[in-house]
Structure formats: C-alpha cells, structure tokens
Amino acid sequence: MFSNLADSLDKTFRNLRGVGKISESNITDALRDIRLALLEADVEFSVAKEFVAHVKEKAMGVDVLKSIKPGEQIVKIFHDEMAELLGGDQVPLDLSDPGYVLICGLNGAGKTTTAGKLALRLKREGRKPLLVACDLYRPAAIDQLAVLAKQVDVPVYTPEASETDVVKVAKDALEWAKTQNHNVIIFDTAGRQEVDERLIEELKRLHAFLQPKETLLVADSATGQQAVSVARHFDEAVGITGIILTKLDGDARGGAALSMRAVTGKPIKFAGEGEKLDQLFEFHPNRMADRILGMGDIVGMVEQVASKIDEKDAMKSIQRLAEGKFDFYDFLDQMKMLQKLGDMKGLLGLLPGFNKIKKQIPDAAFDPKRMKRTEAIVLSMTPDERRRPEIIKNSRRERIAKGSGVKLVEVNQLLKQFGEMRKMMRSPNKMKNMMKQMGGMPDMGKMPNFGKMPGGLGSLGGGGAGDLGNIDELMKKMKGKFPF
C-alpha cells in the first residue's frame, strides 16, 4: 500500500532537492505533481486540494525560501502536513467501564476477522475480552467468529439460528457476559454490499441500546473514492469513534486512509497488515507519513519483531555469534525465528528506502516453500554433520539430497552459501561495515527492546534518517551469501 504514491512523491522531491533556488514557480510545479499523485492514489478531490493548499501556504513562507536547504524544508512541511492529515498523534481505545466496542462496516471489509484480531490484541495487553456475534443474516459469519474465538481462546456468545432481533441478541449477550470474567465486549455486526437504510436502522437501534464507548468502522484500504461516502454515512448514523483499515499489505493505492480521516475527523486507530490474527497494529500517523515518504518505520519493525521473537532464544543466538560459533543447529534456530516473523517482504518494507530496491530482489527470495526446502536439507543431516559442516563430502551430500528429496545441486548451493554466511558471522566488523552502508538506519542499540532482534542486530547501528545509502553496493556484497 502507498507504494505508487511513495514512488511518485520520491521523484517529485528528488527534483525539488536538486533545485538551487526555490521560487513560487518551481513550488507550484512540484505541488501540481503532488496533487496528481494524491488523486492517482484515490485521495478524494477536495481532500487533495485542501491538503496541497496548506502545503503551499507554508512552503511559500520567507523562512523556507531563504533557507540554506529549501528543498528539504518543503519535504519536512509535506511530512508534517501528511501526519496531520492522517490524524496527528496516535489515539488509543477508550475501554473504560462499560468496555463495549461496536464493530461496523460493509461486507467484505474484514469485520469478523478484525473482531478476532482485536480480541487477541486486547488479551495480550492483559485485558479479558469477550466476542458477541450480532450478524443475524449470515450464519457463516457467526460460525467464523466462533472459530476465531476458539483460535484466540476468548469466550464468544452466538445467538440461536432463529433469532432475528439484534437488540435482543445484545441483551442476552450482556446477561451471559455477567457469568464470564471479562472487562471488554466486542460486538461484531452485520454488513451489506452497499450502505442501505435497513442496515443503518438496525445499527442505530443496537448503538442506542449499547451506548458503546467505541464504535469502530472497519474499512478495506482498497475502497477508493467510495471510502468517503461510506465513512460519512456511518459517522452520521452512529457517530463512529475511530477507523480500522484492513488489507494494508495489499496493492491498495492508499487514498482511503487519507480521505476517511479527513472527511470524518475521526482517528484511524488500527491497521490490519496480513491475514494472521496477530497482524493488527496500532496506527501511528507520523510513522505512516514516514513510510509514504520512503523513510521507513524502524520503530514499527522493532515492535513487530520483539512481539514474535523469544528474548531468551534470541540472546542465546547472539551469544553464539559473539563467540564466533555458527553451525547448522544455529542456522535452524535462525530459520525458525524468521518463520515466526511471517511476511518478510512486508517486514523489510519498513526499512528506510526499501521500496527503491525491492524490485531487485526476486520473489523467490521471500517464498516460504524455499525456506522449507532448505530446512528439509538441514534436517537430513546427521547431528555430527550439523555441528561440523566441513565433513560433508560428496557421498554425504548425495545421501542428504536423497533424504531431503532435492537435487544434489541444491545441497551444494546451500553448503556454499552457508560457508559464506559463516565467514560473515565470524567477522563482526564486516557485518557492521555493511550495515553502516545502510544510511537510513538509526542507532538501534539505543532503541528499547531491540536486543530481542535475532542475530544481534541491536548492536549494528547506522546513520541518521534518510534513504538506504549505497544500497546497490550492499546488495552486490550480500548476494548469494544468505541461503534463505
């Protein structure tokens, strides 16, 4: 998401930075390009027009025009305005008593899955959520919520198949909730293919009865221009308190996020970036503005990794690397950590400047099947071979290939790449020098919880904010050295 917008803005700002002197003429040209980029990203016309007007007003200030680096000043103005458009500071949920959360939206937006994701997230934060199925039109939605509740180990209330009154369902659910140990109740409601009066009237009745502290609109990031009318309609009907954007990991152009926030004035509170139940993240406007401008989101990356990697296992791995030890047992541990992280392409997308070089990386590099084949090769080795890879000669290689069901050439490639990686792991200076070339990396060693990163990345600092410096040279050096 936002990749096309980010590419268009990058080109515009690169041209602006190269201008020796800023004038009203070249600012106007740049802002025209920005407006077109926003419209192409499905940002609603009036939102794009007003946004560009705000940027122009500040960009034409005397301090900017007379500054040493006016191009950089304008980029900063754009960043700040973008963060403001997305909502300024991150807004947490209001879960004060009674902790009712009403989920609403159109069919296909991902309401039911989002309800399950939210329940898991709140549970991990130490709360005791319950789920209530209030979609009386789609039995499959009730069954889906029950399955999700089981997966996240959260109690769920499901109505009788003959029930047609959503308010009665809510009343019965609240009576049931008294028998449960809970402090948050999440109500999953019915949706339609389009906003219609029947849906809205039912939602109004349920909202009037519950008087929830949070009414969250779940919206598909790919909604496009329709996002504005959908958000406005739901907000006028029940007064939404926030928005949850789904499918942020898809190919959506991103205009929904910008338009819905601007039109309703309600904050985007969460974003879903994947199908797994743990892939619901707090929406931070400043971080999203960074991502749109190609600056990455290192803090978000750290949070994702820290939530999925066991600190003791990571520290054990770091200690082994620090001692210059690295065998196929360590390699297996590293692979398991990577598998826990899930979508590596999405995670790497949080690195500054990654969008500029992602096309250079073949899709096969992110194929989980490839990692499974590599794992099969290692598991076909004897314990002694994993500890001492140097003893794996021709006859052993042939046996390993047969045992793992792969060709001999794949075994040879893995051993060669493993040897290269082993040399690199045993030379901290080489690793550190390579990471220093990534000019966009902050000093990770100073960031909270970064010690949980696998492979000791917390000690490999870098420069200040910006793009990945000599990334082409870095990619050439790393090519072929990491078998997964």
Binding residues for GTP: 105-112, 188-192, 246-249
Annotated binding-site members: 105-112, 188-192, 246-249
- The amino acid occupying position 215 is T
Rounded Cα gap, residues 386 and 329, in angstroms? 6
Q: What is the distance between the terminal CA atoms of the chain, rounded to a whole angstrom?
A: 25
Q: Pick the closest to residue 294 from 447, 82, 46 (CA basis).
A: 82
Question: How remote is the C-alpha of 356 from its chain's centroid?
Answer: 18
Rounded Cα gap, residues 316 and 293, in angstroms? 37
Rounded Cα gap, residues 263 and 257, in angstroms? 10
Rounded Cα gap, residues 34 and 50, in angstroms? 12
- The amino acid occupying position 290 is D
Rounded Cα gap, residues 261 and 271, in angstroms? 13
Contact 222, 10 (CB under 8 A): no
Q: Is the torsion defined by CA of 343, 344, 347, 349 positive or negative?
A: negative
For the beta carbon of residue 71, count every other beta carbon within 10 angstroms. Answer: 21
Q: Which residues contact 4 (CB under 8 A, 6 or more apart)?
A: 40, 41, 253
Rounded Cα gap, residues 355 and 351, in angstroms? 8
- The amino acid occupying position 344 is M
Contact 238, 18 (CB under 8 A): no
Rounded Cα gap, residues 14 and 204, in angstroms? 49
